[in-house]
Chain A
Amino acid sequence: MISFITNFASAIESLAKIHRLLPWVIAYILLLFLPNLITATFGEYYVDLANRCCLFILLAVGLNIVKGFCGQVTVGHIGLYAIGAVTSALLAQNYGLPFWLSAPLAILVTCCAGLVVGLPSVRLEGAYLALATLGLGESVRIMIAVTPALGSSTGIMMIPAPTIGDYVIESFDHYFYLVMTAAIIGIYFSFVILNSSTGRAFKAIREDVIAASVSGINVPFYKLLAFVISAIYAGLAGALFAHMPPGYLHHNNFTVIEMVTLLLMVVLGGIGNIWGGVVGAIVVTVIYDQTKDYYFYQPLIFGITMVFLVVFMPRGIGGVIEQAIVKRKFIEKHEEQNLGTS
């Protein structure tokens, strides 16, 4: 298993040497056939599931930026997702804006909201921040639940699907191309951010705020930047969710349970590990969907899983694999040295 991953990684690295974007393009082209494959083997319902996986990948990757890279504990992420979804849905429904206009506007609004959620982070740390963001996220949900203009108890119905020219993207497998493109671009940009000076600033803040500020990093600016970037991801995911067939929104989609699912994805994949977050998102979404019949027990299982993960595997799947790879490389290196000396 580990050797497969290392071989795979080295193959991708050699591809990336030809051109930096080449592995991404190949992955994209391969994924284009995924809906056909899924429909052929499992049925159309599972394409919808794949769509939701893509949305949660976007959310988890976005959450990873603020949580994993920058080390700020936020549990209000689902509120940002809700803001993106409701804004885009209302703009499309009340003002007749096309998806291509309403989604960017929704992302803009979510960015501003992300700034507001991020503001407490300038002064607060750890648990204080977690509760402040939880309060903000839950306020958003309560606002949606009690304000009739925002959907309240009936939810928003008949949200128009995105169109290209005269063509309406309303089937699951065509929508998959949209969300999959967004997810791939999202993952790509999160790697770009991680490897840029911004990403290094984030990591410096995560490791030690005081040391970071002494090294000339504008700590409040970068903290807010992390929140805004993650808000862009959440807003995009929200807008895509709102317009996804069947075009229906309800505030029950944004409860604490969803937040726990989202947290579980990131924790399961390993905090700060991008591929871990992606794997976590896919695994949790699929399990969540497949165990729908036992939804009475779902929060219990998810909550306890999260507790045990934190207690026994704090670095998640991604962390474990990373460690195994490092160990393997170390052993190989030593074996080479031993062969050389003897």
Chain B
Amino acid sequence: MDFDFGSLLAFIIFGVTIGVVYGIVALGISLIYSGLDIVHFAHGEIYMFGAFLGLVLSQQIGIPYPGAMIGAMILAALLGMFIERVFYRRLTRSGGGYTVSGMGMIICGFGMSVALMNVAFLIWGADAEPFPVDFGIEPLEINDISIPPSYLLTAVVSLCLMGILNYFLRYTKIGLAVRAVAHNKDIAFLMGINVPLFISLIFGLACALAAAAGVLVGPMQSVQVEMGYLMLMKAFAAAVVGGFGSLPGALIGGILVGIFENLGAAYISASHKDIYAFLLLILVLMYRPAGLFGIVAKVKA
């Protein structure tokens, strides 16, 4: 294949935009990890639910796209908090503290992920549903490759969400409490913070981010039941690549995964596209488990 700088640039832009979305899901996974010290295996399904909720809200009920996105975020946050309260809370309780280690949580999340996927299948069926949204912006043209407006919008909205989250965590009192809970639950509890409530809040926040990602990806690709599971893997890859628990790390990791995946699909083989993220994940896990940027896993949120 001839080396063409313009198409390379286009692939990189595609990679960056999808990578930013991986980044916000990765951020949610990181947040839950910092709150509960677990990896939430059903997070991909929350993302899928978010996409479907956005689809229903905007197409069937007729709420405009931004409103549908906010609605999907709120509903997904409620769903996440419900799951956390009803199922995961029991596990943490039996563990004695607020965190669980070991197999139970992983198996529980795995079961929850399959169950949620099945629920979505029963409600919306197995077909891929299109999510047409008219943004009213002209596609950007680079060397005969046109970049649809949804890609540009996605990147902008994702970055805005990250900025808001960053502001929230760093400059508000609730954000300070969230960081305290993530840092040390016992001491946070002694300081008068309602730790279980904040764990629920963290869960809801993470699920809202996942839902936002789902609504953003919807117009780019189609919405289908099996989308969550690959997303989980890629977002996890992003979180690991960037270093678990760091906010800019998740963003950079997501972008790296997105570029890696798109370049692999473009120059090696498009049908193996979904494997490249796993490859990157495994390579990084084996050689630099703390992430490419060497951020120690202890520094959370």
A residues sitting closer than 8 Å to B (CB atoms) are 67, 71, 73, 75, 119-120, 123-124, 126-128, 130-132, 134-136, 138-139, 142-143, 146, 256-257, 260, 263-264, 267, 271, 296-300, 302-307, 310-311, 314
On chain A, the residues within 8 Å of B233 by CB distance are 131, 134-135, 138
A138 to B108, CA, bound (A): 19
Q: What 1/0 flags go to B267-301 for Cβ under 8 Å of A?
A: 00001101100110110011001000000000000
B interface size (C-beta, 8 A): 43
Kindly state whether residue B124 has any CB partner on chain A within 8 Å: no
Dominant SS among interface residues on chain A: helix
CB-CB under 8 A from B87, the residues of chain A are 307, 311
Q: Given the interface contacts A119-B286, A142-B272, does A303 sit within 8 Å of B121 by beta carbon? A: no
Q: Are A132 and B111 in contact (CB under 8 A)?
A: no
Tell me the bound Cα distance from A205 to B39 in angstroms.
22
* B289 and A128 within 8 A (CB): yes
Tell me the chain B residues, 143-173 only, with Cβ under 8 Å from chain A: none
On whether the beta carbons of A146 and B271 are closer than 8 Å, the reply is yes
Bound form: Cα–Cα A71–B285 in Å: 19
The answer to whether the Cβ of B128 comes within 8 Å of any Cβ in the partner chain is: no
Residues B282 and A136 in contact, CB atoms below 8 Å apart: yes
A260/B114 in contact, CB under 8 A: yes
C-alpha gap A149/B107 in the complex (Å): 34
Digit string of B116-138 for contact with A (CB within 8 Å is 1, else 0)?
Answer: 11110110000000000000000
Alpha-carbon distance between A239 and B185 when the two chains are bound, in angstroms: 49
Given contacts A300-B122, A304-B111, contact A126 B274 (CB under 8 A): no
Question: A131 vs B117: C-alpha distance in the bound complex, in angstroms?
Answer: 18
**Interface segment, one of B54-62, B97-105, B202-210:** B97-105
A302 CA to B119 CA, complexed, in Å: 12
Please report the C-alpha to C-alpha distance between residue A155 and residue B103 in the assembled complex, in whole angstroms.
34
B91 contacts A by Cβ under 8 Å: yes
Q: Verify A126–B114 contact, CB threshold 8 A.
A: no
Does B113 lie at the interface of the complex (its beta carbon under 8 Å from any beta carbon of A)? Answer: yes
Chain B 219-243 per-residue mask, 1 if CB under 8 angstroms from chain A, else 0: 0000000000100010011001000
Measured in the bound complex, the distance between the Cα atoms of B229 and A257 in whole Å is: 12
User: Is the CB–CB distance between A299 and B272 below 8 Å?
Assistant: no
Question: Complex Cα distance A134/B289, Å?
Answer: 16
